Amino acid sequence: MLIKKAADILASEITPKSLYMNRRAFLAGTAIAGAVAVAGVGVQEMASPSEVVQANAKIDGIRKSSFSTTEKITPYKDVTNYNNYYEFSTDKEGPAELAKNFKTRPWTVTIDGLVKKKQVLDVDTILKMAAPEERIYRHRCVEGWSIVVPWVGFSLSELIKRAEPLPKARYVEFTTLNDPQQMPGLRVPVLDWPYVEGLRMDEAMHPLALLCFGMYGEVLPNQDGAPLRIVVPWKYGFKSAKAIVRIRFTEEQPINTWNKAAPSEYGFYSNVNPNVDHPRWSQAKERRLGEFFKRPTLMFNGYDQVASLYSGMDLKKYF
């Protein structure tokens, strides 16, 4: 079996089975173009094995959010069977099967770094911090495909405020689970595991940044980031870390995994920007998953509310 290194991997190389099976029609057009607990701080409200939350379980009390787009929602079956989740597989159709027995309880998240309240929280304690909202967000992947998903969660800022960051905290770093027994992709050195992502503090505090634990009114499926992920809709999809186990506040900019693997291709900011191409393909257009024709890529993925965060920045230099 040929194993590619990170710099050689083109996520768009793998055609989904549904498109492959209809390749004759498709080829008439163009080809488809991405815990450390602090001493003295206990784990809060640990869940027992009998309290395992199953994917597809309904989430009660969801309120609609004004942040939602009115665009057509991508079918559930497409979003759950076409995933960028290298911890399970580099094949986009692989994670759905490989993650089906992934255990999401018990699960804790360590919050540390430059904060007053370092702590280890059970995921279900986090989920109770605020009322769940449904936010229908556009989600754009770096390889040129996009989706529209009704995510369920609440603003990441709700959790950040409770941690009480110190004045020196300028960034938030997210680390995902590193469990090769459950995640077969971790047994292959495609990337430097565990997966790490980061945001500038003002980005993380923006109300559009979502701490997410569900979609389509249900608990997140394992292959879509259960039990807890972030969704940052104005950035390319790899910025939205899945299966989070640690949130660390830092003064220095985190070194995110894809930037470390291929710094000329994946910047720290990775804002959706039709004017800044990936070195190997254009970002000017995108194809909505399940659709045939491409559409123009929108600056910040259409979320103009965040433009002021980058006022005066050279977005080609800070890509």
pLDDT for res 276: 96
Q: How far apart are the first and last CA of the chain?
A: 34
For the segment 201-213, the average pLDDT, to the nearest whole number, is: 98
pLDDT for res 22: 37
**Better-predicted residue by pLDDT, 29 or 259:** 259
Give CA–CA dist 223/221, Å, rounded.
Answer: 6
pLDDT greater than 80 at residue 46: no
DSSP state string for the chain: -----GGG--GGGS--HHHHTTHHHHTTSPPP---PPPTT-PEESPPPGGGPPPTTPBPSS-EE-TT---SPPPPHHHHTSS--BTTTBSSTTHHHHHTTT---SS-EEEEEESBS--EEEEHHHHHTSS--EEEEEEEE-TTSEEEEEEEEEEEHHHHHHHH-B-TT--EEEEEE---TTT-GGGGSTTS-SSPEEEEEHHHHHSTT-EEEEEETTEEPPGGGTTT-EEE-TTB-GGGS--SEEEEEEESSPP--HHHHH-TTT--SS-B--TTS-BTTB--SEEEETT-SSEEEPPGGGG-GGGGGGGTT--TTT--
For 151, half-sphere exposure in the C-beta direction (CA atoms, 13 angstrom radius) is 29
Q: What residues contact 282, with CB distance under 8 A and at least 6 apart?
A: 144
**In terms of CATH, what superfamily is 6-310?**
Oxidoreductase, molybdopterin-binding domain (3.90.420.10)
Supply the pTM of this predicted model: 0.84
pLDDT band (50, 70, 90) for residue 53: low
For the segment 212-237, the average pLDDT, to the nearest whole number, is: 98
pLDDT band (50, 70, 90) for residue 54: low
**Better-predicted residue by pLDDT, 247 or 40:** 247
For the segment 57-71, the average pLDDT, to the nearest whole number, is: 96
pLDDT for res 6: 41
Yes or no: say if 97 and 80 are a contact pair by the CB < 8 Å rule.
Answer: no
For the segment 209-220, the average pLDDT, to the nearest whole number, is: 98
Kindly report the average pLDDT of the chain as a whole number: 87
Give tens-digit pLDDT for 121-159: 999 999 999 999 999 999 999 999 999 999 999 999 999
pLDDT greater than 50 at residue 30: no
Give CA–CA dist 168/119, Å, rounded.
Answer: 19
Give CA–CA dist 55/227, Å, rounded.
Answer: 9
What percentage of the chain carries pLDDT values higher than 70?
83
pLDDT for res 43: 42
Yes or no: say if 113 and 173 are a contact pair by the CB < 8 Å rule.
Answer: yes
pLDDT for res 56: 76
pLDDT band (50, 70, 90) for residue 13: very low
pLDDT greater than 60 at residue 253: yes
Hey, which of 8-12, 47-51, 174-178 has the most confident mean pLDDT? 174-178
Give CA–CA dist 144/293, Å, rounded.
Answer: 12
pLDDT greater than 50 at residue 2: no
